[in-house]
Structure 1
Amino acid sequence: MRRQVVPELLDADLGTPHEVRASLDDLRLINTLFGGVTSTAKMIRKVAHETGVKNLKLLEVASGTGYVPQAATDWLASDGITLDIALLDRAQTHLPTNGVPTFVGDALKMPFADNSYDIVSCGLFLHHLDTDQVATFARETLRVARRAVLISDLIRSRLHLTLAHISLPLYGSPITWHDSLASIRAAYTPDEVRPLLANCGARKITLEHHFLFRMGIILWK
């Protein structure tokens, strides 16, 4: 199955305000049921164990509502791992108003000093980038991170696309009906993404398969 890039509607907020908000709610459901939260929590736990640091300052990039890192805190509590979370998104309308620090900016040129956060994390964002942008994003996130960069994204396959078609009735927004399929078609496979990250400047790269066609990538600083 060849990679096919189709513009996603949520990227440009191509829908009514209700449809956009419903799509953000759908993303919360997707990340809860299909591995987004668990993938991120497992990688955070790995960083905490390897570095010995259990109170981590985390920046979530392309964060939307920031549900994933906030939900991951519950998974990590039993290990005594706590997160100080900040969120970056390109659109103010995607960000929450619940008191978590939020920033509007470009993920490829972030408005932060070097080594500002222990961890820079993102979920379901890598497939939005073309092959040249993947390396740019990796270098930029490594610049801002003190310890590691975490990337959770989809793995493209025909079986994954078939399962996504079956899951469409779960979603409440027509934006999600389009974008969930477009995301899989645009996703990278592990074999495709490894060479794109090979020269990003990471000390070490860990890439693992996670639940339901997710890959988890750690770029170690």
Structure 2
Amino acid sequence: MFERFATRSYELERLDKGDYTPAEYRRWQREMWFIHRIFGELRALRRTLFRDIQAAGDGDVSVLDVGAGSGELLRELAKWTAARKTFFVGAELNAEATRTIKSDTLAAIQCDALRLPFADDSFDHVFCSLFLHHLDDDDAVSLLKEMSRVARKRVYAIDLNRQPIAYYLYKALGRVFLQRFTLEDGALSILRSFRPVEMVEIANSAGLADVRVDRSMVNRLILSGRKIS
């Protein structure tokens, strides 16, 4: 029963295949924000990136969110740091999502996450959330390399932990309030995700230093590290 959790699944999610209608995608965006807010991404962001921004003092800060979706996490981060001068950018491949991100406080660019159109050391911090598991192992390493290339300080990757309890609880609870597209892709996301030791391995392969993998509720792992100077 649990053999399927021993190694990552490489079955593509519908989101990655583009196999969804515009209406399904819009509902997916709403449901994902509910999941972000209730089940962990905001908590994970506060425990890591926001904590490090606060610890750095009152100076200017710049942040890039890679695979930003509709930009909701960036919006929350902008609220938390409203008292200081900030430059926040969402990088997203989906054109509709890119348009959604843009606002008075957020910039957005449509681009390939593995080929970020920024110079080295362009941002203080670079993060991604629930994005790493969409990639195969080699591309996950490439993503972390590219994130660290454009980051002056640390990079952060918030993602799921591949474990049976989370998988079966998600499927049971998700049937109550999620559309089929979100439910099925979310379950597959857990099967595609990394375990802590695997996260450390890809971070080491990407050449990151001072690597940490922290756990956060609910079923979240937070990989962080910095480039080797």
Answer whether TM exceeds 0.5 for this pair: yes
Aligned to 1:18: 23
Aligned to 1:181: 187
Aligned to 2:90: 87
The one-letter amino acid paired with 1:101 is A
Counterpart-to-counterpart distance in 1, 2:224 and 2:18: 30
Change (3 A) 1:38 1:97: closer
The one-letter amino acid paired with 1:124 is L
Counterpart-to-counterpart distance in 2, 1:97 and 1:4: 30
> Which of 193, 196, 201 is residue 202 of structure 2 equivalent to?
196
1:52 offset after TM fit, Å?
3.7
1:211 offset after TM fit, Å?
0.7
Is the 2:71–2:101 contact (alpha carbons within 8 Å) kept by the matching residues of 1? no
Structure with more contact order per residue of length (Cα contacts < 8 Å, sep ≥ 6): 1
Aligned to 2:72: 67
Change (3 A) 1:120 1:57: same
Structure 2 counterparts to residues 3-42 of structure 1, below 5 A: 3-42=8-47
Q: TM-score, normalised by structure 1?
A: 0.90
> Which of 134, 156, 159 is residue 162 of structure 2 equivalent to?
156
1:176 offset after TM fit, Å?
0.3
Is the 2:40–2:216 contact (alpha carbons within 8 Å) kept by the matching residues of 1? yes
1:200 offset after TM fit, Å?
2.1
Is the 1:13–1:20 contact (alpha carbons within 8 Å) kept by the matching residues of 2? no
Q: Percent identity?
A: 25
Counterpart-to-counterpart distance in 2, 1:196 and 1:98: 32
1:68 offset after TM fit, Å?
1.3
1:19 offset after TM fit, Å?
0.7
In structure 1, list runs of 5 or more residues that go unmatched: none
The one-letter amino acid paired with 1:61 is V
Structure 2 counterparts to residues 197-216 of structure 1, below 5 A: 197-216=203-222
Q: TM-score, normalised by structure 2?
A: 0.87
Is the 1:22–1:172 contact (alpha carbons within 8 Å) kept by the matching residues of 2? no
In structure 2, list runs of 5 or more residues that go unmatched: none
Counterpart-to-counterpart distance in 1, 2:43 and 2:84: 15
Aligned to 2:61: 56
